[in-house]
Structure 1
Amino acid sequence: MKLKKLSHTAITLFLASSAAITHAQEDWRDIEWGDFIVRFGLSYVTPNDAGTSLKYRVLQQWDLYNTVWEIDTAQTWQVSGVWRPTDSLGFELMHINSAPYGVTLDNFTGNPGRDQIQLGDFKASTTLAFANWYFLDPSYFSRPYVGAGINYTNFHSVSISRQFDEYLIDSGLSVAPGSFNMGHSWDWALQAGVDFILDFRQFRFPLLINLSALYYMSDTDPTVDFPTELGTDRLYAHFDYDPWVINIGLGTKF
């Protein structure tokens, strides 16, 4: 009989406490989640383009000795989203899409009278995650910020040039066309930027204009693979992408 009374009392206390906790919980629609920002824009990418000369695993190929990688700048588009839970702190995810490049080797000695050869083409896509710190009060027209984070860069759509294929075959290194291969990398990233807020009263959401500068580290180990009479062979290099990026974007916050 006492056991039944104790059980009844415990159940009553549990139900009463559960009701109190449920009543105390705030409706998720009333919680202040902070600001959400979305942006879309253009990126101007200037790679560091430092690369080692193509060589065998141990020995240096003479025609490629002391060659220097030359890569032009690229333009592409980017998209980003920011969650700002407080006035000063924000978490940003950004994607810079498929910046295209052509790789030229300077100081090349394999073709008499010409000191350059086109190695190939590739594209670089980068996804970055930042923790940003915002200066000034949200009531200001501009909100400068700085951020630090990580990046994942994928080197894709890689192709060897016809000119380099012809060199491999004509020089006796290869018996058929080869392939140019890159890879991917994970590394650190930094950025600084500013959001300009244009709050038009007739629109529900304000217009944001964003300017930012990024620097991130990225390196990979490219290879050139080609068939030989005895099987296959490979030339190796090391490439430091390490680009500076200028972003211009439009967006809104809600």
Structure 2
Amino acid sequence: MKMTRIISPLALAAFSTAAVAGPSGYQPPAPAQDVYGAGTVAARIGASYINPLSDDVTFANDSLDAALFGDAFRANVDPDEEWGWNLSGLWIPIDHWGLELNYIAGDDHLGHRHRGRGFFDVDGERIGKYEADISTATVNWYPLDPSCMFQPYIGVGLAYTDFNDERFRLFRGVDPADFQGFELDGDFGLGYSWGYTWQVGVDWVFGKDSSWLVNAAAKYVHSETEMDFSIFADSPEFGREVLLDYSGDYRYNPWVFNLGVGYKFSF
């Protein structure tokens, strides 16, 4: 009787183990651990290479003396490529889909070489510079399984571009004697832009149990704004007066290439 009481529990435990493991003792693999699954949050920081479009802009004369100085001219706006930095945050509310906010701060874009016809002959001269800060909000799709450490994605969304730190350099070094004692200077400005953006990229997590990752992405930003510049003449007799006032539509439309590192966690 006592032996039966001992053997019965042992037999039951052995039968349960065999039922789970299978007839040959095979143990089923543990479920794959999610690396980029629902509830993942990531923050990234890195460098950005910004390559804006070289655009032809038709500048119209908005001042009253258009008949004297010409009503329009066409110029090539050719800003240099520049390096900047970027900061982004990512949230994956459900598997395969993420919401991303990205801020890109650019350095000075130099250029605006005038190759058109105008009142002032400034062929080949750089007449200005500006900075552009880009903010984007995108919805990203991650096609691979959330357990993969290598996570490519594509995304589409909205973009806001803010132009700042504009400088006008056209008349630096001009001799006032060439203009009968008038000193010339000018103002140069750009507005802001709302547009769309799309991107392709990849997040590569260092390991299944790691919170660190590397990010690389290529982003296109549709950005159009108004570019305007005013030319002033200063004289002791008449003071400061507007000589010319030109404006035109400018397509900035840069490609941005991001490379950075990030840290992720889940909740």
TM-score where L is the length of structure 1: 0.75
Matched, 1:105 2:113: yes
**Secondary structure at 2:94 match in 1:** coil
**Cα 1:132–1:56 shift into 2, 3 Å:** same
Matched, 1:124 2:132: yes
Deviation at residue 140 of structure 1 after TM alignment: 1.2
Partner letter of residue 61 of structure 2?
Answer: Y
Deviation at residue 57 of structure 1 after TM alignment: 3.2
1:237 pairs with 235, 248, 254, which one?
248
Deviation at residue 84 of structure 1 after TM alignment: 0.5
Whether contact under 8 Å (1:51, 1:238) holds in the other structure is no
Task: Map Cα deviations across residues 193-234 of structure 1 (whole Å, 9 max, x no partner).
Answer: 111111275xxx521111111001001111112335694341
2:212 pairs with 193, 207, 213, which one?
207
1:37 pairs with 24, 36, 42, which one?
42
Deviation at residue 239 of structure 1 after TM alignment: 1.0
Whether contact under 8 Å (1:198, 1:207) holds in the other structure is yes
1:92 pairs with 91, 96, 100, which one?
100
**Cα 1:54–1:63 shift into 2, 3 Å:** same
Whether contact under 8 Å (1:91, 1:132) holds in the other structure is yes
User: Which sections of structure 2, spanning at least 5 residues, go unmatched?
Assistant: 1-36
Deviation at residue 162 of structure 1 after TM alignment: 4.9
Tell me, in whole angstroms, the C-alpha distance in 1 between the residues paired with 2:58 and 2:172.
Answer: 14
Alignment of 1:47-58 (within 5 A): 47-57=52-62
**Cα 1:80–1:193 shift into 2, 3 Å:** same
Who is 1:250 aligned against? 261
Tell me, in whole angstroms, the C-alpha distance in 1 between the residues paired with 2:71 and 2:254.
Answer: 28
Tell me, in whole angstroms, the C-alpha distance in 2 between the residues paired with 1:66 and 1:143.
Answer: 46
Partner letter of residue 215 of structure 2?
Answer: N
Whether contact under 8 Å (2:203, 2:216) holds in the other structure is yes
**Cα 1:158–1:246 shift into 2, 3 Å:** same
Q: Which has the larger radius of gyration?
A: 2
Q: Percent identity?
A: 28
User: Which sections of structure 1, spanning at least 5 residues, go unmatched?
Assistant: 1-31
**Secondary structure at 2:124 match in 1:** strand
- Count of aligned pairs: 217
Whether contact under 8 Å (1:108, 1:117) holds in the other structure is no
Partner letter of residue 260 of structure 2?
Answer: G
